[in-house]
Structure 1
């Protein structure tokens, strides 16, 4: 069970690393605009805000990687909890898709960590 929990935590970390890349470096590029369904003018006007969001996603990914590499379950649970809260807030304020893309995987990983 520990291997499954570690895999799930790693996948959540990888997801947030991917989001970092999308928000910090690809926001105004075709892939970033496609993923977030952005008009070119809006993407350009909001790129600094998106980079800031990307940085925070990087902190989440780094915290999860730290928890994994150090074998610290409390650190893993803390950062997974942060992802769940961010996902629930994003679902309530931006779109329900965020609940399934961000919060649900983190909640599943959290359950796996607790079960392991």
Structure 2
């Protein structure tokens, strides 16, 4: 169970590092391709906003990456639970306010990760 929990956590971290890169560095270049329903003229105006949002995603990714190097089993599970919980909440909020597909991209993987960590803690 430990390998599965760590693997899912690393995959979610990688996803959030990608999202951070996208929002910080590629918002105006790749953004119009990814968010076709967003008016093209707003990308330049929202670059700073997207970069700020990307920084928060980088913090989530860094926290999830930190989980891998924690040696103490209890602390590892606590930190994983905190950061996966943050991803879960962000996914629910994003699905409710921005796009329902965020539920599948963030909330479902975070739920799987939380379940795996919980099962690992019970073993």
- How high is the TM-score relative to the length of structure 2? 0.89
Superposition RMSD in Å: 1.0
Residue number in structure 2 paired with 1:5 = 5
Are 1:95 and 2:107 counterparts? no
Aligned residues: 115
Between stretches 69-78 and 88-97, larger displacement belongs to: 69-78
Alignment partner of 1:83 out of 78, 84, 87: 87
Residue number in structure 2 paired with 1:36 = 35
After superposing on structure 2, the runs of 4+ consecutive aligned residues of structure 1 that deviate more than 3 Å are none
CA distance in 1, matches of 2:32, 2:111: 27
What are the superposed Cα offsets for residues 10-55 of structure 1, whole Å, 9 maximum, x if unpaired? 00000000000110000000x2322233433111111100000000
Whichever of the two has the greater Rg, that structure is 2
Deviation at 1:68, TM superposition (A): 1.7
The residue matched to 1:27 in structure 2 has which SS? coil
CA distance in 2, matches of 1:9, 1:54: 19
Residue number in structure 2 paired with 1:73 = 77
Residue number in structure 1 paired with 2:20 = 20
Segments of structure 1 that go 5 or more residues without pairing to the other structure are none
Going by fraction, where is helix more abundant, 1 or 2?
1
Segments of structure 2 that go 5 or more residues without pairing to the other structure are none
